[in-house]
Amino acid sequence: DTAVSQTPKYLVTQMGNDKSIKCEQNLGHDTMYWYKQDSKKFLKIMFSYNNKELIINETVPNRFSPKSPDKAHLNLHINSLELGDSAVYFCASSLRGARTQYFGPGTRLTVL
């Protein structure tokens, strides 16, 4: 299936732990994004990579570190997890010129 996929789908962890979320797309897109959706459903962009280069870096705590090993993959590592990090994290991808973004299924992160 051609799609944007994320792992894991659910992540439950304790405060202070470090965790990673992985994203992969096989749509041939060159730009990938991380969004955070909070409990009020608000969608906010966090980061974006174009051809492995960081191009959008919003005001996000530096405990969050994205990494793009190649243009089909974008990972998100979170250090020292806090209660406020609980949210659904969506990966998305697009072609730079087209701008239509396709979202992954989301990762529901719960910090206890």
104 in contact with another protein (CB under 8 A): yes
40 in contact with another protein (CB under 8 A): yes
In the bound state with another protein, the residue whose beta carbon lies nearer, of 15 and 54, is 54
Please select the residue that binds another protein; options are 12, 15, 55, 112, rule is CB under 8 A: 55
68 in contact with another protein (CB under 8 A): no
Candidate ranges 13-21, 66-74, 75-83, 95-103; the one touching another protein (CB under 8 A): 95-103
Please select the residue that binds another protein; options are 12, 16, 18, 44, rule is CB under 8 A: 44
14 in contact with another protein (CB under 8 A): no
Q: HSE of 74 in the Cβ direction (CA atoms, 13 Å)?
A: 33
What is the C-alpha separation between 55 and 16, in angstroms, rounded? Answer: 28
Distances in whole angstroms, Cα of residue 50 to Cα of each of 1, 9, 40, 96: 23, 24, 29, 8
Strand 10-13, strand 107-111: pairing: parallel
